[in-house]
């Protein structure tokens, strides 16, 4: 029984063409994905070009290399992290600033040296520094008898 060589060659050609197109599609897909990914991570043209070139030239090993070298955070993640860090910093600074004049004060200041606003109080029982917002001394439980926050400069002891 003779083998139809012509038919076999056609089938092989078709299979070859199919795989060729398939590989090309995967390759283009990887390059496009890399381009998108790197642009979400960096605005630098050099980084973008280098990453795309890596995948363009080396394909799968290139993308492995890209995974190792790409910026860890996306720009969005970086922005959010910076935002939360800033908020945290502001929170700390707010606690250490006079609520009336925003002058920097130390944790144990009882009055703002700039505008004379009362910042903290000293417990009359145990003489430790406590917040004006608390009704009792957190150290000894004695009731807070000091004036309310936002006291005027007239409260400054002579
Ligand atoms: Zn002040
Ligand atoms: Zn006390």
pLDDT in tens, 120-147: 888 989 999 888 888 899 999 998 775 5
At residue 154, the pLDDT reads 46
At residue 4, the pLDDT reads 73
Q: Is the pTM of this model over 0.85?
A: no
Q: Smallest Cα–Cα separation from 130: which of 107, 112, 114?
A: 107
Distance 125 CA to ligand 1 centre (A): 27
Distance 153 CA to ligand 2 centre (A): 24
Cα 51 to Cα 60: distance, rounded to the nearest angstrom: 12
Residue 28's alpha-carbon distances to 34, 57, 124, in angstroms, are: 10, 11, 76
Distance 124 CA to ligand 1 centre (A): 24
Exposed, middle or buried, 84 (CB in 10 Å: 0-12/13-18/19+)?
exposed
Nearest bound ligand to CA 109?
1
Q: What SS3 state is found at 121?
A: strand
Nearest bound ligand to CA 146?
2
């Amino acid at each position: 029984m003779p083998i139809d060589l012509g038919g076999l060659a056609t089938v092989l050609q078709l299979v070859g063409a199919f795989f060729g197109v398939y590989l090309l599609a995967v390759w283009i897909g990887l390059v496009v994905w890399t381009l998108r990914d790197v642009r979400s991570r960096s605005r630098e043209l050099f980084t973008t070009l280098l990453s795309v070139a890596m995948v363009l030239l080396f394909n799968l090993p290139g993308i492995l290399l890209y995974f190792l070298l790409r910026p860890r955070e996306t720009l969005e993640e970086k922005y959010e992290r910076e935002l939360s860090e800033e908020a945290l910093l502001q929170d700390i600074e707010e606690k250490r600033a006079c609520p009336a004049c925003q002058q920097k004060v130390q944790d144990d200041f009882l009055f703002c040296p700039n505008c004379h606003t009362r910042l903290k109080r000293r417990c009359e029982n145990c003489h430790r520094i406590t917040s004006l917002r608390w009704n009792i001394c957190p150290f000894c439980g004695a009731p807070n008898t000091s004036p309310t926050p936002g006291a005027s400069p007239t409260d400054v002891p002579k």
